[in-house]
């Protein structure tokens, strides 16, 4: 209960506690109860398979955060990062022909050997959060695109430009942090040459279905913590001189680093895989009606299974509550009838109790009443649902509706 309350803004705590207070008594397994309230926020609808604040919704995975880099020392990646270069060797990299990468590793840093060609990861991946650190030579040579040039090519071939843009004029869509040839960075936020620069990139591939775009794909880039690409929609890979058009990308591809003839250095390269978006089968976000209904069915089925596991004739409440919960997601006829039957039996059995034992059921019965009220409010059960009417009558009869 404490956990659930901690997730809510202060103003919402009171009603949450009230809702939980009634549920803790009614409620079923300890694990389920601790995940959050039930019969509380607005229920699932045509585009959201979960209720608002849904206690059945899966918990996000836990990630142990890493540490930030300093000029002298790379930071530690988060716990779920897939490491592409940690300063030791190029075992995760190869040439475009699949041969061993020919760049140098010196003092925990990999360095372009000019003329040796680009290198690419053996790993293939698509949507990602990508972290790359790079440094241009301290001694400035050349200018514009000839100075401190490399590039980070994501799946589908788009280049996030790596360039020593520190006091260096060049075309805007070719600066450090540009979606090269397509969108300039919103700012030039570089450290002086020789110092490391930190790129954090969020990449979402375009999603197409039957030739129709469902999501154009986006790239977001931070350079040294400064936002330079803000969810920029993709328009193909971009490139030198040619204008590219939006279109599908491969699902996965290697990450490539460019050899543009400058001895650029890289360190601390890692990525995290991102969950699927709603348009590609993910179940968070605004879903199609079809996907929502499919997910609601699945949730309902798993709750019904849980209800069956809780079956206990001596204490029918946990099973009944889970069955009622399942109706929020899918009005399965069998579950509906069973819950109604159990409700009728429950009220009859409570009413048959001797006075002292009946009095002890007060909170449980009132909790069930709250559940019925929620379900009736959202038309999941009718207002004249027999067990609801019976529970209301019992509460009135016993004076449990009055303040003590
Ligand atoms: Mg480049």
Give the Cα-Cα-Cα angle 116, 120, 122 (nearest 5 degrees).
130
List, in order, residues 6 or more apart from 399 with CB less than 8 Å away.
Answer: none
Ligand 1 centroid – CA 342 distance (Å): 69
pLDDT at 271 over 70: yes
Q: How confident is the model at residue 7 (pLDDT cuts 50, 70, 90)?
A: very low
In contact, 348 and 340? CB cutoff 8 Å: no
Give Cα 307 distance to the centre of its chain.
28
pLDDT at 75 over 80: yes
Ligand 1 centroid – CA 96 distance (Å): 17
pLDDT at 12 over 60: no
- For the segment 206-224, the average pLDDT, to the nearest whole number, is 96
Ligand 1 centroid – CA 212 distance (Å): 31
Q: How confident is the model at residue 34 (pLDDT cuts 50, 70, 90)?
A: low
Q: What is the dihedral of CA 294, 298, 301, 307, to 10 degrees?
A: -140
Ligand 1 centroid – CA 153 distance (Å): 9
Ligand 1 centroid – CA 178 distance (Å): 10
Q: What is the DSSP annotation of 224-290?
A: TTEEEEEEEEP-S---SSPPP------S-B--EE---SS--EEEEEEEEE-PPPGGGT-SSSS--HH
Domains of the chain with bracketed CATH: 10-60+283-398 (no CATH), 82-280 (2.60.120.560)
Ligand 1 centroid – CA 2 distance (Å): 52
Ligand 1 centroid – CA 224 distance (Å): 18
pLDDT at 404 over 50: yes
pLDDT at 184 over 50: yes
Q: For residue 33, give the 3-state DSSP assignment.
A: helix
* pLDDT recorded at residue 339: 98
Ligand 1 centroid – CA 152 distance (Å): 7
Q: What are phi and psi of 72, to 5 degrees?
A: -90, -20
Q: How confident is the model at residue 37 (pLDDT cuts 50, 70, 90)?
A: confident
Ligand 1 centroid – CA 148 distance (Å): 9
Ligand 1 centroid – CA 385 distance (Å): 68
Ligand 1 centroid – CA 241 distance (Å): 13
Give Cα 96 distance to the centre of its chain.
33
Ligand 1 centroid – CA 162 distance (Å): 6
- For the segment 185-196, the average pLDDT, to the nearest whole number, is 97
pLDDT at 3 over 90: no
pLDDT at 296 over 80: yes
Locate the DSSP E strands across 80-158.
Answer: 82-85, 93-95, 104-106, 109-111, 119-121, 128-135, 149-153
265 has which bridge partners? Answer: 111, 135
pLDDT at 113 over 60: yes
Ligand 1 centroid – CA 91 distance (Å): 23
Cα(381)–Cα(378) distance, integer angstroms? 8
Locate the DSSP E strands across 164-204.
Answer: 197-204
- pLDDT tens per residue across span 326-380: 999 999 999 999 999 999 999 999 999 999 999 999 999 999 999 999 999 999 9
- For the segment 23-42, the average pLDDT, to the nearest whole number, is 61
Q: Which of 4-13, 86-95, 117-126, 295-304 has the lowest mean pLDDT?
A: 4-13
Structure token digits, residue 176? 């450090």
Nearest to 127 by CA among 248, 217, 256: 217
Ligand 1 centroid – CA 46 distance (Å): 46
């Amino acid at each position: 209960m404490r956990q659930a309350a901690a997730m809510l803004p202060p103003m919402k705590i009171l009603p949450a506690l009230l809702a939980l207070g009634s549920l803790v008594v009614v409620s079923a397994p300890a694990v389920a109860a601790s995940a959050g309230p039930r019969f509380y926020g607005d229920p699932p609808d045509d585009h959201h398979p979960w209720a608002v604040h849904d206690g059945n919704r899966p918990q996000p995975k836990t990630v142990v955060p890493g540490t930030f880099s300093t000029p002298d020392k790379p930071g530690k990646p988060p716990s779920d990062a897939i490491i592409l270069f940690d300063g030791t060797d190029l075992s995760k990299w190869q040439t475009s022909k699949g041969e061993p990468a020919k760049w140098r590793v010196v003092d925990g840093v990999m360095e372009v050997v000019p003329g040796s060609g680009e290198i690419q990861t053996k790993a293939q991946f698509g949507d990602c959060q990508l972290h790359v650190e790079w440094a241009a030579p301290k001694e400035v040579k050349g200018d514009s695109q000839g100075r401190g040039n490399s590039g980070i090519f994501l799946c589908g071939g788009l280049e996030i430009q790596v360039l020593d843009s520190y006091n260096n004029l060049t075309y805007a869509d070719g600066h450090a942090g540009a979606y090269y040839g397509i969108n300039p960075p919103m700012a030039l936020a570089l450290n002086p040459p020789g110092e490391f620069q930190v790129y954090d990139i969020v990449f979402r591939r375009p999603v197409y279905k039957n030739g129709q775009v469902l999501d154009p794909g986006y790239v977001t880039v931070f350079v040294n913590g400064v936002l330079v690409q803000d969810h920029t929609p993709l328009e193909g890979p971009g490139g030198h001189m040619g204008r590219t058009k939006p279109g599908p990308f491969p699902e996965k591809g290697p990450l490539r680093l460019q050899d543009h003839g400058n001895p650029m250095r890289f360190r601390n390269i890692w990525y995290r895989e991102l969950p699927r978006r709603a348009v590609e089968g993910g179940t968070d976000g605004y879903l199609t009606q079809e996907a929502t209904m499919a997910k609601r069915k699945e949730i309902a089925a798993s709750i019904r299974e849980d209800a069956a596991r809780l079956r206990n004739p001596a204490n029918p409440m946990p099973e009944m509550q889970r069955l009622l919960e399942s109706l929020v997601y899918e009005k399965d006829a069998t579950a509906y009838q069973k819950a109604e039957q159990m409700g009728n039996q429950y009220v009859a059995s409570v009413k048959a109790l001797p006075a002292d034992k009946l009095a002890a059921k007060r909170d449980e019965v009132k909790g069930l009443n709250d559940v019925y009220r929620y379900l009736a409010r959202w038309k999941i059960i009718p207002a004249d649902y027999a067990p609801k009417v019976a529970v209301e009558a019992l509460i009135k009869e016993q004076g449990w509706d009055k303040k003590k």
